[in-house]
Amino acid sequence: MKKVRDWSIQKKISGLFLGCFLALLTCVLMILYDVYKEQIYGQLIQRGHYEDELIVHQIETTQQNAESCCNNIIINLNLAIGSKEGVIGKPDKYDQRIKEKILGVMENNFLLFPDINRITIIYENGDMYSKQKNREFVCSTGNQSLIQSFQNANADTLGVWYDSSADAGNICFLKVFRDIRGNVQIGYVLLELEESILYKTYQNKKTDNPSEIYVSSENEVLLSSTQRDLVNEVYQETEMKKRKTLSEEVYRDINQKKKDFRFYVQEYKTSQGWNVVTILNVKAVMQGLKIISNKILCVGGILMISFSFFTLLLLKQIINPVVALAAHMRKMGIHRLKKIEERESRDEVGVLITSFNQMVEMNGKLIRKIAQDEKEKKQLELSLLQMQIKPHFLYNTLDTAFCLNSMKKHKEANQVLKQLAGYYRLVLNHGDEWISFSEELDAVEKYLAIQSMRYSDQVTYSISVDEEMYEFRIPKMTLQPLVENSIYHGIKPSGREGHILITGELCNEEAIISVTDDGVGMTEEMFEAILSGKQQSTDQESFGMKSVMERMHLFYGNDTKMELSKVPIGTSIVLTINLKKEEGNKSEISGIVGG
């Protein structure tokens, strides 16, 4: 309890409201969970399983009837035709009397098994006798292709469900026809059931309208479904391969629904290998519960709003002084902090106001000290960065002039010294840190001219800069480290003449400067290592790209970017300077951009 008493006013109020809200929400969720799990969802799933079992049983009964019909046909044919020895296996010797017996057997089985739509008897020699319910009796010969397809289906005396696309909308059962006395195979019996007959066996068995039922063969070809448009689409295909492709799409959709909590999917397998899948749309069934839940949540929300209103009225006297203090602090947030009028009361709010006034006085002193420290820190950082410029360039240039004089090349030596003097006149610039971009380019040109003479015209260069860039103010020695990188890490290691291209343009509120060479090139890993400080520059003339990046961040902020651009040959480094400053830094813009 002591910890609770030590809480701030804001925490106490927040804790009070949060506790009441969580208590109310917990009660609502417990009620909804109980109703959902015990009263509705559990009973729904239980009833669904019961209805599924009835559907599977009905489908198995249809399958068993087909097998029984085949057995009855085979037995009756053996009894009716087998009275003459050897005739049953020789269909070429059948006369009209025997054909009438075959027709009689078929008609009797149509009466016994009304689900059968067509009965076909095919002999090994290709003779075929076929009768569709309430249609003519058809006899034909030369059906060896059918015999071959039946053999490929591996039909036996137990019978198999035969995937056939010959007659749209029919499901086929195939069984071997044997002479019982001689136990010799003499042909096949093929039964056809209309898909609509199978559909009627489960059409009205599900009491939940959102349910879907899919029945497929052992080869996963869709046979029947409550989705009638889908069934019609499958049976309209005359090729079994296309039927199987459509069926696979159906089962892909079913597998997706297995992963969706809005559907409850159950799979069953009949005794003869058919797959039965039932899908319950839980979301649709539970729509009524959703309405009830929304009403409960609405009532709970109204109660919570009412409770919050009366609680806030009681706490108004505590909150108002704190709100006034917060408003004063917010008002002073962008200006210099001022003291607030103190209260006579010495309660928590009075102590808070007194402490605030003491903080204002102390902050004033700290702000002045921090401003001075930041100014000194910035000057120190700039000085440290400038001190990284090594004097080796001066030494090497003077050595070059000395060597040229020794070789009686006084004109070239004079040019080197003249370029060196002009270079340092621009670089030193009376100690100024900022120079125009045109002056920076002039210094780089003089630097490149010296390097070209040092390396016997191995280095050439060109500059393409928009004229509007010339007055752009930039910290001096920004481009030279990038040019040095191109010479010492690109052109010099290549051992051949190289070219350096310097470009610059202003785009919106950004200055984009690039230095490109056709040397050996730099990998992305090496570039990132240099910028992160993991790999230090090894040449003695450059203080490195990392220092350039640090200076840009110091002057322009972290929006400044240095990137490695992809080029076919060599290296291209692009420096993007964001000229847009935050409001608090407007005083520095005049020193960065413009005249």
Q: What is the pLDDT along the chain (595 residues), one digit of tens a residue?
A: 556 555 656 566 666 666 776 777 677 667 766 666 666 777 778 888 888 888 899 899 998 999 999 999 999 988 888 755 567 888 888 888 888 989 999 999 999 999 899 999 999 888 999 999 888 899 999 888 888 888 888 888 888 888 876 566 788 999 999 988 878 899 999 999 988 888 888 887 766 556 889 999 888 888 899 888 888 888 888 888 888 889 889 989 999 988 888 888 999 999 888 999 998 887 777 676 667 767 777 876 787 777 667 666 656 656 666 666 666 666 665 556 666 666 655 666 666 677 777 777 777 777 777 767 665 655 555 555 455 555 667 777 888 888 888 888 888 888 888 888 888 777 776 567 788 888 888 888 888 888 888 877 678 889 999 888 888 888 888 888 888 888 888 888 888 888 999 999 988 888 899 999 998 888 888 888 877 766 655 544 445 677 778 778 777 877 788 898 888 888 999 999 887 653 333 333 333 333 3
- Among 476, 442, 467, 460, residue whose Cα is nearest residue 517: 460
Contact 500, 448 (CB under 8 A): yes
- The 3-state DSSP class for residue 106 equals helix
Confidence (pLDDT) at 588: 36
What is the CA angle 421-424-425, rounded to 5? Answer: 80
Signed CA dihedral, 165, 167, 171, 177: sign only: negative
At which residue do the structure tokens 């249809």 appear?
62
pTM comes to 0.46
What is the four-CA torsion angle of 79, 80, 86, 91, rounded to 10 degrees?
-130
Polymer length of the chain: 595
- Among 487, 301, 465, residue whose Cα is nearest residue 393: 487
Question: What secondary structure does DSSP assign to 51-84, as a single string?
Answer: HHHHHHHHHHHHHHHHHHHHHHHHHHHHHHHTTS
**Strand-pair partners of 583:** none
- The 3-state DSSP class for residue 224 equals strand
CATH number of 392-589: 3.30.565.10
Contact 300, 28 (CB under 8 A): yes
**DSSP-H helix ranges across 82-179:** 96-112, 144-152
- The 3-state DSSP class for residue 1 equals coil
Neighbours of 438 (CB within 10 A): 14
Confidence (pLDDT) at 109: 93
Signed CA dihedral, 345, 346, 348, 349: sign only: positive
Q: Which CATH superfamily is domain 9-314 in?
A: PAS domain (3.30.450.20)
Q: How far is 325 from 233, CA to CA, in rounded Å?
A: 74
